[in-house]
Amino acid sequence: MSPIIIRPTGGGRRGFTLAEVLIASIIGTLVIVAAWSVYVMVWQWWAESSPRLDVERSARIALLRVVEGVPGSATGDTGKDTVNSIDYKRRNGIAWSTDNPEFESVTIDGQSKVRKIKFRLKLDDEKAQLQGNIRSYYLAKNGDQRVIYYRYYNYDTSSYATEEIANSPGVIYDVEFASFTDDGSPPASYPNIVTVKLSAAKEVYGTRVNQPFTVRVDYTDTVYLRNKLD
């Protein structure tokens, strides 16, 4: 009588060898390390880029407000006046001032720079006689913050008023004013063109360096003084 032989029908399955397990572990580890490296790189990039974007935005807005003003922010500065049949805007930006602005030095933290500009807007004969026609932008300290201020004459209250015009106080670092000077020989200065240089800065934490560092941007705009309506 022949013995009965039973053979397995599972296709000859067997477990992983030690070499296969090691190779799979190494590949899995490399994938995890690569994914983590990408995550850290993206996080570091955003941690450094986000403050710079904030600083650049604050500097652009502050510079625009100094140059063009903020319509309606200062009572009595909006609308228009007519002088010799010519309409003039009543705006609070230096771009809308008359010629020959004045520049003054302002000392902050022991350093003196031309940080203040004084100018006049063209108004009608009655208001032109008022000393309140003088406007000014200047940088000053408010506690530990550096803030750009706008000083104007409020015709409704017959008194001077001051307001902050730079957004994100604590980001604005400096502002300088000067008459535009060309590169001619000799250089020529133009009293009806003003150069405004504005700096913004912010301290950044939690990035790839061990110590916090400062992100700083500088914007410069050359402004042709104009008042006549197109």
Q: Where are the domains of the chain?
A: 34-224
Of 97, 50, 45, 67, the closest CA to residue 166 belongs to 67
Inform me whether the pLDDT recorded for 25 exceeds 50: yes
pLDDT in tens, 139-151: 998 888 899 998 8
Read off φ and ψ for residue 202, nearest 5 degrees: -150, 140
Task: List helix spans (H) across 69-104.
Answer: none
Count Cα neighbours of 51 within 13 Å in the Cβ-side half-sphere: 20
pLDDT in tens, 67-92: 888 665 544 445 565 555 666 555 67
What pLDDT shows up at residue 81? 55
Q: Which residues contact 167 (CB under 8 A, 6 or more apart)?
A: 58, 61, 62
pLDDT in tens, 146-165: 999 988 876 666 777 788 87
What's the residue count for the chain?
230
Q: Compute the C-alpha angle 102/108/109, nearest 5°.
A: 160
CB 105 within 8 A of CB 99: no
CA–CA separation, 137 and 29 (whole Å): 60
Q: Which residues contact 71 (CB under 8 A, 6 or more apart)?
A: 77, 78, 91, 92
